[in-house]
Amino acid sequence: MTIEAARRSPVLPDTAAPSADLPLIHPLWVRITHWINALAMFMMIGSGWQIYDASPLFGFLYFPRQLALGEWLAGALLWHFAAMWLLVINGVVYVILGLATGRFRRKLLPIRPRAVADDFLAALRGRLSHDDLTVYNAVQRLLYAGVLLAGAVIVLSGLSIWKPVQFKYLTALFGGYDTARYVHFFAMASIVAFLTIHVTLALIVPKSLRAMIFGR
């Protein structure tokens, strides 16, 4: 290429869509369910905080109204139940496709304690590589598997709180209505912790965010 031709060639910004020649990291169904789930979780957590403030479990803990969704208890319940159906339906689709396509097996297994410890120490030292986004490191595998489990727990404990008579056996499995509220709260807290780490890493490694938008 001549110097003049090089000057006329467009320079793509760092945020441009990746080339189709790059390997596909996230298929379309993963990207769609991911962003639907992000919206549903934002609605669930925000409205859940408003519901919590109406009947707190801990006397010292309240969530600021600026972070809550619904403005009052009845409004928050409407948001919460609407988001619940979105989360459950989207989650069922995601899990079915993840199992049927073998993505969960390829991406999340195996999870070995030694590998988790090594990758965790490497991350603390800033030596954990993110060059190949097609492969999850051991810490990512553990976190993603853990958030799937937390998602199942928060849905089941939420059902036992919502309909403690109709789902009496499920409520009993959690140790009763009051205990189910604590389980629900700590499952929410674990998901918020995961999201904090997840968003932080997406900002540190922006190409991972582009991959979840464009697939490559």
165-210: per-residue pLDDT in tens? 999 999 999 999 999 999 999 999 999 999 999 998 888 888 889 9
Q: What is the pLDDT of residues 4-60, one digit of tens each?
A: 333 343 433 444 556 666 788 899 999 999 999 999 999 999 999 999 999 999 987
Return the number of other C-beta atoms located less than 10 Å from residue 194's C-beta: 17
Closest of 115, 95, 117, 114 to residue 104, by C-alpha: 95
DSSP secondary structure string for all residues of 134-158: TS--HHHHHHHHHHHHHHHHHHHHH
What's the pLDDT score for residue 3? 38
pLDDT at 162 exceeding the cut of 60: yes
What's the pLDDT score for residue 19? 61
What's the pLDDT score for residue 44? 95
What's the pLDDT score for residue 20? 63
Contact status, residue 87 vs residue 37, Cβ threshold 8 Å:
yes
What's the pTM?
Answer: 0.84
Instruction: Calculate the CA dihedral of residues 55, 56, 57, 62 and round it to 10 degrees.
Output: 170
* Packed helices 138-162 and 113-124: angle between N→C axes, nearest 10 degrees: 110
What's the pLDDT score for residue 49? 94
What's the pLDDT score for residue 89? 95
Q: What is the pLDDT of residues 71-117, one digit of tens each?
A: 899 999 999 999 999 999 999 999 999 999 999 999 999 999 999 99
What's the pLDDT score for residue 17? 59
Q: Which residue has the higher pLDDT, 125 or 189?
A: 189
Cα-to-chain-centroid distance, residue 11: 34
What's the pLDDT score for residue 5? 39
Q: What is the CA radius of gyration of the chain?
A: 21
